[in-house]
Amino acid sequence: MESIQAIKQRFGIIGNNQKLNRAIEKAIQVSPTDISVLVTGESGVGKESIPKIIHQLSHRKHGKYIAVNCGAIPEGTIDSELFGHEKGAFTGATSTRSGYFEVADGGTIFLDEVGELPLTTQVRLLRVLENGEFLKVGSSKVQKTDVRIVAATNVNMFEAIKKEKFREDLYYRLSTVEIAIPPLRERQEDIHLLFRKFASDFALKYKMPTIKLNDDAVAVLLKFRWNGNIRQLRNVAEQISVLEQNRIISAASLRSYLPNASTNLPAVINNSKAESDFSNEREILYKVLFDMKSDLSDLKKLTMELMKSGNANEVQKDNEHLIEKIYGGNEKESYENDFQNLEVLPLPENQDTFTETIEENSQDKYHFAEEIQEEETLSLHDKELELIKKSLERHNGKRKLAAAELGISERTLYRKIKQYDL
């Protein structure tokens, strides 16, 4: 069995971090077996090295090694890519095609970004893992394959299972052994070493002197978070190697190539939650308006009864439930006093016309709420138009600056300008 150091040299792995060494050690130990392995870690940490180590140290090293990026294959064609298809299985299938599981028989398949697999494909993959059987798309003939699967993902699998985006049974079949690759921020001792290696490689590639960091620049390098991990570090080293005239890099020069963590980025808003909250508030407002309308109708009815009978005590007795509804169950004394002191006015001479008017106004209980909604819509329309005009005037018609100030995209602003004919 090869040593960890020998494996690093063979596969070009840089670093002496303890967690990294443990991951390589686990890869060496599982290589002679046919156990399924799941490699986890953030994007850009170098997960693709582990499947290569496992394949090259296994008895399958003379078989095919196929790496498949599951996230890069469209959902409609991934079954065909993995398992193949028969002629005429779907539109455009002009001939029979062998899939990766058939081609890699006796070898290893690396499923990168396995968390992006559609649920239908996950079912097919589970069957391959359980008994080595699969069906081509459009075929009823069961085929056998002897393939070892190594998968990798940067997705939180337990969260994906909870959201029903990934099958729990498939996760446990894939992760017989799980190998975690640490992010670059947890490998402080390796960051400068990796940067120097990349700087040397690019110096040879572009035939120029190697860049070097001064002490202050090294401190900046180590303090940076490196969310993009090794991939981001490599890109920064390449940019500096190509663009900087001075080959001794200062802290200020290095910072100019690093993303500013304090930059104001667009806020990510949960649209479904925002829409839901707005909808709930609108429903509450409508309910209040409808209740007010109902109370007004009841008051009109009660007023008509009083004006017709002229006897407050009699009306109170006959409409006790209605009065309690209007005043509230806990305010009996209040409405009793009101009725005792009530002065009943005579009906106007055109009583029939007056009654018809009240009843007509009481018919449409939604009329008031609809008027409120229409006025609100017009108000929002006018406000939006006014804001857009002011912003364009402030920035001398420059749409890009106006869009940034308004918090919308330039494309949306252009559409609004055409809509309002500005």
Q: Confidence band (pLDDT; 50, 70, 90) for 253?
A: very high
Q: Which residues contact 315 (CB under 8 A, 6 or more apart)?
A: 302, 305, 306, 309, 339
Sequence spans of domains, the chain: 4-182, 186-255, 277-365, 369-419
Q: Which residues contact 34 (CB under 8 A, 6 or more apart)?
A: 148
Q: Tell which CATH classification among 3.40.140.10, 3.40.50.720, 3.30.465.10, 3.40.50.300 matches the domain 4-182.
A: 3.40.50.300
Q: Report the topology of domain 186-255.
A: Helicase, Ruva Protein; domain 3 (1.10.8)
Is a pLDDT exceeding 80 seen at residue 41?
Answer: yes
In this structure, of 5-9, 126-130, 196-200, 411-415, the range with the lowest mean pLDDT score is 411-415
Of 422 and 109, more confident: 109
Q: Average pLDDT in the 207-214 region?
A: 95
pLDDT in the model for residue 325: 58
Q: Which residues contact 137 (CB under 8 A, 6 or more apart)?
A: 79, 80, 83, 84, 85, 86, 89, 90, 93
User: Cα–Cα distance between 140 and 155 in angstroms, integer?
Assistant: 34
Please check whether the two domains, 4-182 and 186-255, share a CATH topology: no
DSSP string computed for 232-277: HHHHHHHHHHHH-SSSEE-HHHHHTTS--TTS-PPPP--HHHHHHH
3-state secondary structure of 146: coil
pLDDT in the model for residue 370: 45
Of 330 and 151, more confident: 151
Angle in degrees, 0-180, between the axes of helices 271-309 and 367-394, rounded to the nearest 10:
140
pLDDT in the model for residue 80: 93
* CA-based nearest residue to 85, from 69, 99, 64, 66: 99
Report the 10 Å Cβ neighbour count for 110: 25
Which residues of 101-170 form beta strands (DSSP E)?
108-112, 133-135, 142-144, 148-153
In this structure, of 77-81, 280-284, 353-357, the range with the lowest mean pLDDT score is 353-357
CATH of span 369-419: 1.10.10
In this structure, of 120-134, 189-203, 298-312, the range with the lowest mean pLDDT score is 298-312
pLDDT digits (tens, 9 = 90+) for 319-349: 666 666 555 554 445 555 555 555 545 555 5
pLDDT in the model for residue 11: 94
DSSP string computed for 55-78: HHTSTTTTS-EEEEEGGGS-TTTH
